[in-house]
Amino acid sequence: MSSHLITLSPLDLTIIAIYFVVVIAIGFYLKGRAGTGEDFFLAGREMTAWVAGLSFLSANLGSLELMGWAAASYQYGILATHWYWIGAIPAMLFLGIVMMPFYYISKTHSVPGYLKLRFGESSRALSAITFAFMTILMSGINMYSMALVMKVVLGWDINFSIWVSSLTVAVYVALGGLRSAIFNEVLQFFLIWLGALLIPILGMIEAGGWSGLSARIAQNLGNSSFTHLWSTLGSFTDNPMGIHWTGIVLGLGWVISFGYWTTDFLVVQRVIAAKDLRSAEMAPIIGAAFKMMVPFIVILPGLLGLGLLPMKLTGEAEAVATGGHSYNEVLPLMLARYCGPGLMGLGITALIAGFMSGMAGNVSAFATVWTYDIYRAFIKKDATDAQYVSMGRWCTIIGVLVSIGTAYLVMQFQSIMDYVQALFSFFIAPLFGTVLLGMLWKRATPAGGFWGLLSGTVGSIAMWAWVKADPSALRYIALSPNAKDMAENMYRGLWSWLICVGVTVAVSYATRPKPESELKGLVYGCTLIPRDEHVPLFHRPMFWAAIVTTVFFILNIVFW
């Protein structure tokens, strides 16, 4: 028996090879369009709403996102959909309608750059350094996980997967900057959809539609809780995730989701590159419309695996011990179930494209924050634009190499993987509090912004350490001793956001605010936001946001 899951045919390998040739060709083609800092780091600020919107979504659609959430849906059922609906849609719409005008009108090049304008140098330094560190760490961890999956699924050598895919990303981003990253992300968006969409289509035909699938899952598991979104969230013990609806709504739907989608520069950078304010507002709304559909290619395959696969998938350790398959293999297993030569190559290309779009997002955001918010701010303030572009290119390559180093570090110390989601949540939730108050509250002062951000981050780390040292503290942090890791992350995010907001408000009232003249273009009430009454209804961001909101509510009710 073969030691790996899938054997690729020459046709599949041809399809994968063509993909690599095209993404590198795009990088070379766009090299001449990345001569200035504005071109290299912000794609010349001339992206249309569609390009910015699809890239905004694609930068988040890594292959781990695809395979990880398919695995989560096999493990936890349809509850995993919350990370795509309530855990994304409201925040993306809020970014487009409420926050985008301030990011765009302030002409900032990054989220730390906005904090510099609003709160001063210390807040920028704190957020830039934590962002750069976390981005590279996440990039390395994703790289290692991807290579591990390629080894299990295809039998590819881990070193080969890591070096070939990451150096390809380094080449096309270093050559063409953000424009090249964005163009490739749009291409990857199409490949991800067209490569993965066949699984749910054929799966639903085999299962006999949604009612047939629900019946099979209920029969296999002995209960129907895996196909209901909200009805099992009344108690921590009634659902497989060990979570309560307050954690989903307040922790995930409010703090974690808003923190990620509105302040993580990895995704916000794509929208800042839009050609005008209306495109910048529309981009997250377009992204939200497609994000709402992602469960059909990610969650549904996991549920189909639960209903249709003859074998039972298990955790990684048990799979290794028994020679069986783990949850993480559900998407490749479904791919192998339905796709022969050609279609298999397209599906694997979709996974590789997902990995590369996520990594390109990480390195292009890292290069911008390092060059503008660390190098220019603290190391070399008087360099020329050409020197900053050169630094950006080197940063891209160095960022990829450090990511590769991190991947090898994780290979040696796999326990790092257990902590990374918690590490990421330390910074995201408080940052959202700081940016939100900065945009919506004139009275927030520079000292308030800095101390709020710092105390929220330190508070989050302290809560995490408390539970590590004394597991019984979970009943205070997550409101229940039965809460699981995901629930703990949600509640810790909520508390750290509240700490950040509380300290920002208290310190702001004790310190002197900036004069209103310095807040123009940065804060609600001091910024003239262009109105769109003269724009036809079908071109108004608010109209499309309302449509997306309506569909969002309908979907949640249908799968209640």
Partner 1 sequence: MQHKEIPIWFFIGSLLAVYGVLILGYGLYSLGDPTAGKTVLAELHADIWWGALLLIIGAGYCIKFKPSRN
What is the binding site for partner 1 (CB under 8 A)?
A: 11, 14-15, 18-19, 22, 26, 29, 33, 46-48, 51, 183, 186-187, 190-191, 194, 198, 202, 205-206, 275, 336-343, 346
Nearest-angstrom CA–CA distance, 426 and 431: 9
| 3-state DSSP percent of the chain in helix, strand and coil, to 5 | 80, 0, 20
In the bound state with partner 1, the residue whose beta carbon lies nearer, of 275 and 442, is 275
In the bound state with partner 1, the residue whose beta carbon lies nearer, of 14 and 421, is 14
In the bound state with partner 1, the residue whose beta carbon lies nearer, of 188 and 225, is 188
CB of 296 to partner 1, least distance (A): 16
Query: DSSP string covering 104-161, please?
Result: HHTT-SSHHHHHHHHH-HHHHHHHHHHHHHHHHHHHHHHHHHHHHHHHHHH---HHHH
CB 172 within 8 A of CB 149: no
In the bound state with partner 1, the residue whose beta carbon lies nearer, of 134 and 187, is 187
Residue in 472, 253, 460 with CA at minimum distance from that of residue 244: 253
CB of 187 to partner 1, least distance (A): 5
In the bound state with partner 1, the residue whose beta carbon lies nearer, of 173 and 548, is 173
Please, what sign has the CA dihedral across residues 277, 281, 286, 287? positive
CA count, 13 A, side-chain hemisphere, 341 = 6
CB of 364 to partner 1, least distance (A): 16
CB of 426 to partner 1, least distance (A): 36
* Torsions phi, psi for 110 (to 5 deg): -160, 170
* CA separation, residue 200 to residues 192, 455, 534 (Å): 13, 45, 42
CB 509 within 8 A of CB 443: yes
CB of 200 to partner 1, least distance (A): 12
CB of 185 to partner 1, least distance (A): 10
In the bound state with partner 1, the residue whose beta carbon lies nearer, of 11 and 320, is 11
Whose structure tokens read 């390109």?
Answer: 360
CB of 70 to partner 1, least distance (A): 18
In the bound state with partner 1, the residue whose beta carbon lies nearer, of 315 and 342, is 342
CB of 219 to partner 1, least distance (A): 19
In the bound state with partner 1, the residue whose beta carbon lies nearer, of 173 and 503, is 173
CB of 20 to partner 1, least distance (A): 11
CB of 158 to partner 1, least distance (A): 27
Identity of the amino acid at 203: G
In the bound state with partner 1, the residue whose beta carbon lies nearer, of 198 and 526, is 198
Nearest-angstrom CA–CA distance, 212 and 215: 5
CB 169 within 8 A of CB 356: yes
CB of 33 to partner 1, least distance (A): 7
Which 3 state secondary structure label does DSSP give 531?
coil
Residue in 246, 286, 203 with CA at minimum distance from that of residue 539: 286
Residue in 296, 308, 307 with CA at minimum distance from that of residue 224: 307
Nearest-angstrom CA–CA distance, 485 and 501: 24
Which 3 state secondary structure label does DSSP give 389?
helix
* CA separation, residue 543 to residues 89, 92, 536, 556 (Å): 15, 15, 10, 20
Structural element, H or E, at residue 405: helix 385-412
The pair of structure tokens assigned to 343 is 């279609």
In the bound state with partner 1, the residue whose beta carbon lies nearer, of 205 and 535, is 205
In the bound state with partner 1, the residue whose beta carbon lies nearer, of 194 and 398, is 194
